[in-house]
Structure 1
């Protein structure tokens, strides 16, 4: 009775984000009631392996009591304070110090927000501010990538290369955002082209765009080390090695969007370390608190901080901030999260179980509807193809990815279909045995989807 009431109330009143609202009105919600380790249980009592860690973020699973206790202790001590007007509190100061210690070299200063979207939005604002302070008011355009994802604010959604997030929202906004191709080697490479050659072509496209726009107008390039919203897509070999010299040549800032990759997801503390990136700014969120509290951080270099100091002298104040940025409860939970990562060597655990995860998924490369499997650490994507030999995708009307997603749910497995690419980013605490069960359930889902799709393809032929 309770479950039915919640189901009806959810359908009637809650507007779901990133959802087919018309389809949802007919199908209704999947409501979760409990979590335990890498598992979640819905209101009907069905248990699932959460192979997406929620939204790439529940790194310590769904039942870490130490984080709940850290939040409770801080709420009893100081439930709220801010970091405006030169004021602050211990948890924010301690967390900023800890992040500066963990950060890639040169990123010594920290601004707190509540979400990855806000962190990237703040980065955009500071980039514009930085160039104004330096007397370069024309250097404002920002380059992202098709299928890149950087958030849902007006600015961060404009930067994101997601067509469905632009349609009817009047985005991209303001004429300052440009996009280069999605570096999906499998779908985009030419016959006989190696990954390194493909990366060189992507870099040449970037160079051509900079030349066409004028390097004096280009302020920054944003990139996720691994594209999350693009389908858990790892970069082709040589990609960032080819991109970064071009940025340095034209004095274009590199912003690493580590909202998904940060804190061990790729087998290093930062995805930037995994792929040899040397960012001027780094945004992180999600796994910063294992998503037990909403918090994000923007890490910036000394030269950008110096510009903030000069701008504050000129304007009297740094006119930027968020009411809940650096919230003491969120900071306390983030600090406890970082302690757990260190004490349990979570990065080492990711490296230890990654082969089982990547090899387990790679075993599906021979499946009739799988074109490619690609991943690193504990993040991976599977390309679905109607014909692998010719790289012919499934007709869009077949919704092959969503079909596999539904079949997986029926098998007690939550994954994410991003178009016809399946994404996986399980909690970082997942065991080899749980990885084996994940793969077994995925295999049954793929077989069930293929049994339904294959006759329709044969008939169409």
Structure 2
């Protein structure tokens, strides 16, 4: 009979885990999961954990969701996969139609890929290739934000700005232009989010003015830089950026992979600025955490630049074996149907308000600089001296104390460095939110009392 210890032993003899220094597991136990149900994960020894991070931000409607399970079983009996070059199928078409309906205006074409990083690769290549097709081949550079993250394939890494990745893989990456982040954590005392985001836009405008002749696109994570520590900014920045991209004839790529599908309080974060990007990258919540799938939404203007006679060699060059997988597309369709049937966005507003109240005591903690929130994403920043913004030394890994305390008390919290965050499945209830908030507060207490 399998138990935690036996599966962990087998795991460590065979697997190499992502974003992990494997030597840590000489002292930091793996958690082998046997099953999931709703917000709960259960290991082989019967311990249960509230999945307060949605299993890397993908799960929307709980584990083993009955509706999604039924849709997946139904599709499995019809078609599991078929090549999407020269062939088509109902789930891929229906999902593309639905995404065109629910995404911001002018996004009228859907291109499928396998995961978030691949979607970013598609958007970057498609933007560059568009300018090449219309005779503007000099427009081949990209502007990105400081502290940004867009995935871990080489193109996605290049347009991100995570120092560790850039230092490690820099020789393999194309050179990009970096603008200061609108991250409102850096605002002056008494300065509003909107005022700071407006102020931070000026360097971006200056870069666009100086480099627009050679710039293909600006890529941003709307409202929340998730992997960068759940740093947040005001929607006005997106509005100003859309206006400037139009003025200087530069594409805008909105990476909504982590923030899309209700995470920030609206179905898509761009809605809060009332803008439409030229490219929108979608993944993670697209299939509610069930299967790998991503989509790049773009405009008919972009599409028409590739629509040509074969001999002109203007076709877009990108493919994956599992492009538009029928199982994943069918799951995504059911996910979007749940949003409509259950009025998820309205319920999320109630849950987000409850979370704000439940986590409010963290703001008074002597080692918390800030508690910030956009919808169903809430984060608290631990600091050695919040008044002077002096951080804890990164090597102390104090977030691990919060993580381990959570596991001991039925909660999966996985801080980003010293940032404790809450991004749960939407099926969580108020009592469960209260429990997570209490355990987070206790964990911060333990983490900041370390000698």
Shorter-chain TM band: over 0.9
1:298 is aligned to 296
> What TM-score do the two structures reach when normalised by structure 2?
0.94
2:173 is aligned to 173
Secondary structure, counterpart of 2:105 in structure 1:
coil
1:217 is aligned to 214
2:147 is aligned to 147
The offset of 1:192, in angstroms, is 5.8
The offset of 1:52, in angstroms, is 0.6
Deviations 1:351-399 (A, max 9, x none): 1211001222233100121110111211111111112222222222322
Distance 1:218 1:313 in 2: 28
Gaps (5+ residues) in structure 2? Answer: none
The offset of 1:171, in angstroms, is 5.2
1:75 aligns with 2:76: yes
Distance 1:190 1:269 in 2: 31
1:34 is aligned to 35
The offset of 1:26, in angstroms, is 4.3
Q: Is the 8 A contact 1:346 1:429 kept in 2?
A: no
The offset of 1:60, in angstroms, is 0.6
Secondary structure, counterpart of 1:55 in structure 2:
helix
Gaps (5+ residues) in structure 1? Answer: 457-461
Q: Is the 8 A contact 1:158 1:171 kept in 2?
A: no
1:270 aligns with 2:271: no
Distance 2:141 2:422 in 1: 33
Q: Is the 8 A contact 1:60 1:290 kept in 2?
A: yes
The offset of 1:231, in angstroms, is 2.0
2:181 is aligned to 182
Counterparts of 1:8-157 in structure 2 under 5 Å? Answer: 8-85=9-86, 87-157=87-157
Distance 1:292 1:73, change over 3 A: same
Distance 1:37 1:291, change over 3 A: same
Secondary structure, counterpart of 2:229 in structure 1:
coil
Deviations 1:219-275 (A, max 9, x none): 111111222112222214632233332222211111111111222112211111123
Counterparts of 1:183-332 in structure 2 under 5 Å? Answer: 183-186=182-185, 188-190=186-188, 193-212=191-210, 214-225=211-222, 226-236=224-234, 238-310=236-308, 314-315=312-313, 317-332=315-330
Distance 1:422 1:311 in 2: 53
1:459 is aligned to none
Deviations 1:191-231 (A, max 9, x none): 6654344223321221333345x211111111112221122
Secondary structure, counterpart of 2:152 in structure 1:
coil
Q: Is the 8 A contact 1:11 1:25 kept in 2?
A: no
Counterparts of 1:366-405 in structure 2 under 5 Å? Answer: 366-405=364-403
Distance 2:215 2:310 in 1: 24
2:421 maps to which of 415, 420, 423: 423
Distance 1:171 1:178, change over 3 A: farther
Task: State which drifts further: 25-34 or 385-394.
Answer: 25-34
Distance 2:375 2:104 in 1: 19
Q: Is the 8 A contact 1:285 1:297 kept in 2?
A: yes
